[in-house]
Amino acid sequence: MAQADYQIRWLKAEVEQLRRKNMTLTRSLHSAQARARAAEARLSLHERSGLPTRPELERHLTSLLQGNASGTMGLALLRLDEHFAILQRALRPSMTEWVLYEMGNRIRGSVGAGAAVYHLRDEEFALVFETVDSEGALEILLSGVIQQVRAPVTFPGYQLAVGCNVGVALCRREKCDKTNLLRKADLALNDARQSPAAIRFFASEMRSAAVERVQLQADILSSFQHHAENGHGHQFSMRYQPIIRVDPDPMSGRVLSVGVEALVRWRQADGSVVGPDRFIPVAEETGLILPIGNWVLYRVARDIEAWREDGVHLESVNVNLSARQLLDPQLVDTLGIIADRFPETRNRIVLELTETSIMERPEEAVERMREIVQAGYEIAIDDFGTGYSSLNYLRSFPTTCFKIDRSFVSNMTQRQQDRAIIRTICSLASDLGYRVIAEGVETEAELMMLQAEGCDSFQGYLFGRPMPADEVPGMIADLDNRAWREAITLN
Ligand code: C2E
Ligand code: CA
Ligand code: CA
């Protein structure tokens, strides 16, 4: 009995031990499984936003397109705009991480259960809509998302705003191809980034536009080579548009001085003229803007000399510089060489820079701007009011002039807000002792209103369209006979 008792106890103990072992094993198995799941989840979740990443997006699309379901589905790519890149350079990494986290949350929050949201790269998100009832409804939903993204992000002492663009591709699930869908959404996104509309739906023309862009790049290159080899191939040429400064005394109506803005033109071999709005961005991408920009400076300097020989005195000649030119380490040397070779240009050429191009790399840009001023050139801020620059940065720009963007001027007679913006820019400029030039003045009504707001320099079709260098002396001689003179005196 004692023997049997002992055996039972021994067996029980054995069973208990096994049970314990088993429990530990099960526990460690469970925890290993949990760790593996967490690691896998970490791999497919974006570390900043906690949203699933590209491989997950691809998997989702594959599974959607493999099923038997029919109907229309949609893919939207959302990219934060250049303000985010500016923040990335200007803020501490922890702050940018917070901005991304916040953006992810807002996007997810504003689509709710309507879409799956993915975080592809720092500034790019994707939204998958499994069923799309209509393009219009989707557009309304996405407008809501954009509004959420645009709302300011607040830190103690800061308020930041980031914009975004969205490209959308729709497809019938039964005949859709994943790669094709991604490519279409990407083309639509590119289109949105270049157009004033924040959302674009894919259209087949976009594919041809992309092909055209590559063709344009090749054409600019061959044109410039031809131009450089033949010197006077007339592929690139300059036009000059008057900038008129009038006496701020409303009774006088006197023209105090005349300047011009130099605007480049490109005539292709077939005779068609391509506007700078189209070819400058492409020339920027390829780097060709540097030799083209140097040619522009040289050509302008020669024209200034020629005008002087004709006895024509221009107060200033404004030349546009793009971001890439501003950041070119050779720029200041080139400006020095031009000023030495054409002494007339010293203190006459004003370089126009946009806020956006300065804010691409603000510290470097401000440093370069100081060197430019030391080399004897002035700086004007172009398209003022459309870019993103804090007043703090503005204070550090060694500039002397703001150019009010055309969009404010053309709306000011109908929109109170645009008029208020113009008033603010004029009063800021006056406090800082800067000059203000209003761009795109087309009517006498605009001219009178601008004068009333305290603006004294004007540029626009009302005063003259961009013209070849040899028409500039005639334009100046003819100023007295122009109809707009009456608007100035009447005011
Ligand atoms: P921007 O510097 O804002 O130049 C003013 C643009 O507005 C010019 O267009 C001009 O022709 C146009 N404009 C002037 N007055 C009026 C008006 O009353 N009404 C309307 N509707 N438009 C007016 P353009 O010549 O096509 O130049 C476009 C842009 O290309 C310029 O904008 C400038 O950013 C860039 N650009 C032009 N030339 C050069 C250059 O030599 N180098 C660089 N980097 N960029 C240039
Ligand atoms: Ca300009
Ligand atoms: Ca402008």
Q: How many CB atoms lie within 10 A of CB 180?
A: 11
Q: Is the pTM above the cut of 0.75?
A: no
Summarised one tens digit per residue, pLDDT across range 456-474 is 999 999 999 999 999 999 9
Ligand 2 center from residue 263 Cα (angstroms) = 8
Which pLDDT value is given to residue 45? 81
pLDDT higher than 70, residue 410: yes
Say yes or no: CB of residue 263 within 6 Å of ligand 1: yes
Ligand 1 center from residue 126 Cα (angstroms) = 35
Say yes or no: CB of residue 280 within 6 Å of ligand 1: yes
Summarised one tens digit per residue, pLDDT across range 147-199 is 999 998 887 777 788 999 999 999 998 888 999 999 999 999 999 998 888 99
- The whole-angstrom distance between residue 53's C-alpha and the CA centroid of its chain comes to 26
Candidate of 237, 280, 354, 459 to mutate for ligand 1, largest count of ligand atoms within 8 Å of Cβ: 280
Summarised one tens digit per residue, pLDDT across range 297-332 is 999 999 999 999 999 989 999 999 999 999 999 999
Residue 473's nearest CA partner among 177, 329, 260 is: 260
Distance CA 99, CA 121 (A): 14
Summarised one tens digit per residue, pLDDT across range 52-66 is 999 999 999 999 988
Which pLDDT value is given to residue 147? 95
Distance CA 418, CA 385 (A): 10
Which pLDDT value is given to residue 3? 58
**pLDDT averaged over every residue in the chain:** 87
120 vs 86: which has the higher pLDDT: 120
Say yes or no: CB of residue 349 within 6 Å of ligand 1: no
Q: How many CB atoms lie within 10 A of CB 221?
A: 14
Residue 119's nearest CA partner among 104, 141, 97 is: 104
Candidate of 320, 441, 446 to mutate for ligand 1, largest count of ligand atoms within 8 Å of Cβ: 320
What phi-psi label fits residue 347: left (phi over 0), alpha (psi between -120 and 50 degrees) or beta? left
